[in-house]
Amino acid sequence: MSEDRKRILSMVAEGKITVEEAEKLLGALGAGNNETAVATGTVQAAGGKSELKYLRVVVDSTGGDNVNVRVPMALLRAGLKLSALVPPQVYQKVSDNMAEKGMDFDLNTMLKSGDIEQLMESLGELNVDVNAKNGDKVRVFFE
């Protein structure tokens, strides 16, 4: 097995790329047109976007209570996959409570659709910036 193929399989095992992306890279390796990207480890997701690696939460507080959290996307994907173990009645209860608060969406459909990657890609567009009157700043984004 070539070193490039081992790198691709290693990236899949580490959650850095999806199986679909690995298939494309392995196919490209066969055609010999993506060896540089594999060698440098810079893999692009389908559609040409760089794959998101982390959810970031950054709080810059004027009082000195600063926060900088970086959650690996692989952990979020695993959590979403584990949601399959949650009983359907729990999803219904959460959806009902959210609807009471004015947020009408079906959590069961969203998490059970089987298209976790599409959900993760959509989350990549999330960007929350909060600037408080006292100067505190909160940012939530993906990188």
Pairing of strands 67-72, 54-60: antiparallel
Same domain, 63 and 125: yes
Tell me: the pLDDT tens digits for 55-100? Answer: 899 999 998 889 999 988 888 777 777 777 778 788 788 888 888 8
Question: Within its chain, how far is the Cα of 43 from the centroid?
Answer: 15
Kindly state whether residue 129 falls inside one of the protein's structural domains.
yes
The domain in which residue 24 lies consists of: 3-40
Assign 5 to helix, strand or coil: helix
DSSP run (H or E) holding 107: helix 107-112
Q: Which residue has the higher pLDDT, 4 or 67?
A: 67
pLDDT in tens, 27-46: 776 654 433 343 333 344 44
How many domains is the chain partitioned into structurally? 2
Residues 75 and 129 placed together within one structural domain of the fold = yes
